[in-house]
């Protein structure tokens, strides 16, 4: 499983998927010194397992992995979550760069690369992703949302369940806020995709289901009773509150 290299609390999280230990360590050291939180994985299997549990801010993906074609993995990871992907590979084939971008990668850099160029590209990808998320974010309000013992402070973008703070990713926060705005009403998968991810394509595949599963686990982990996310198979989800076990 991936190894935490940096644990800076407010840093952007970068997952490095690279099977060459020397290259992986060079990347991790450089990104760590620039203030990023870094996770390392050496195979597609490890990467898929990690991305099923957490949502990083960006992925640096090598195409030459021991257990899966990097292009196949790129497509698979994009189906799991809309995390930006920067592909880096030793391949000299222009076809691989084009296919990477068509399969959802946000940028491509060839090996050997200059670490400063890679960091510059990484920063540019993060800026574009954050700008896109900000433009698609649901309207904010200074008034908090309250559903049972759940409080969503939209001004500070934080969530409390009772008196305990819930640590959510940006997508989980936006998903919860969208469901809470229409509490006890069913929100269709299409509406969730547009309001949270900014495009209807997210309603296909497992993107929404994966994020809902993570969010549901965090809500139930804090209290035996409280808000629940209920699924209506093939239609959508709703946030509801029950004060009974």
Burial of 185 (0-12, 13-18, 19+ CB in 10 A): exposed
Closest by CA position to 66, among listed 86, 95, 45: 45
Distance CA 100, CA 93 (A): 11
**Domain boundaries defined on the chain:** 3-136, 145-242
Q: Give tens-digit pLDDT for 118-168.
A: 999 899 888 887 776 665 555 455 678 888 888 988 777 889 888 888 888
Q: Residue 29: which H helix or E strand, with range?
A: helix 21-33
User: C-alpha distances in angstroms, 136 versus 111, 159, 168, 174, 198?
Assistant: 34, 20, 18, 10, 5
Q: What is the pLDDT of residue 20?
A: 92
The secondary structure of residue 90, as a DSSP letter, is S
String of b and e for 41-53 (b: at least 16 CB within 10 Å)?
Answer: bbbbebbbebbee
| Multiple choice CATH, 145-242, 3.40.640.10, 1.10.10.10, 3.90.550.10, 1.10.760.10 | 1.10.10.10
CATH homologous superfamily for 3-136?
A: Response regulator (3.40.50.2300)
pLDDT tier for residue 40 given thresholds of 50, 70 and 90: very high
Q: What is the pLDDT of residue 205?
A: 63
SS3 of 36, please? Answer: coil
The secondary structure of residue 95, as a DSSP letter, is H
Q: What percent of the chain has pLDDT over 90?
A: 22
| In the predicted structure, residue 224 carries a pLDDT above the cut 60 | no
Contact between 208 and 193 under an 8 Å Cβ cutoff? The reply is: yes
Distance CA 8, CA 27 (A): 16
| In the predicted structure, residue 216 carries a pLDDT above the cut 70 | yes
Mean pLDDT, the chain, rounded, equals 81
Segment 202-222 shows an average pLDDT of 78
Tokens of 207: 């993107």
Q: What is the pLDDT of residue 233?
A: 78
Segment 36-56 shows an average pLDDT of 89
SS3 of 85, please? Answer: strand
């Amino acid at each position: 499983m991936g190894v935490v290299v940096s644990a800076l609390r407010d840093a952007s999280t970068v997952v490095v998927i690279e099977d060459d230990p020397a290259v992986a360590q060079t990347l991790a050291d450089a990104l760590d010194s620039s203030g990023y939180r870094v996770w390392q994985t050496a195979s597609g299997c490890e990467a898929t397992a990690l991305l099923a549990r957490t949502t990083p801010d960006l992925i640096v993906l090598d195409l030459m992995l021991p257990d899966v074609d990097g292009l196949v993995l790129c497509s698979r990871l994009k189906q799991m979550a809309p995390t930006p992907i920067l592909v880096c590979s030793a391949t000299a084939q222009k076809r691989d760069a084009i296919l990477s971008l068509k399969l959802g990668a946000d940028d491509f850099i060839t090996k050997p690369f200059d670490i400063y160029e890679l960091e510059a590209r990484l920063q540019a990808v993060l800026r574009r992703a954050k700008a896109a998320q900000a433009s698609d974010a649901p309207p904010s309000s200074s008034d908090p949302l309250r559903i049972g013992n759940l409080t969503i402070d939209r001004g500070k973008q934080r969530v409390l369940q009772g008196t305990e703070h819930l640590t959510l990713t940006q997508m989980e926060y936006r998903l919860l806020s969208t469901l809470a705005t229409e509490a006890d009403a069913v929100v269709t998968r299409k509406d969730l995709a547009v309001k949270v991810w900014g495009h209807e394509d997210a309603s296909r595949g497992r993107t929404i289901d994966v994020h809902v599963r993570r969010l549901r686990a965090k809500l139930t982990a804090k209290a035996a009773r409280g808000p629940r996310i209920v699924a209506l198979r093939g239609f959508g989800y709703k946030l509801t509150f029950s004060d009974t076990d």
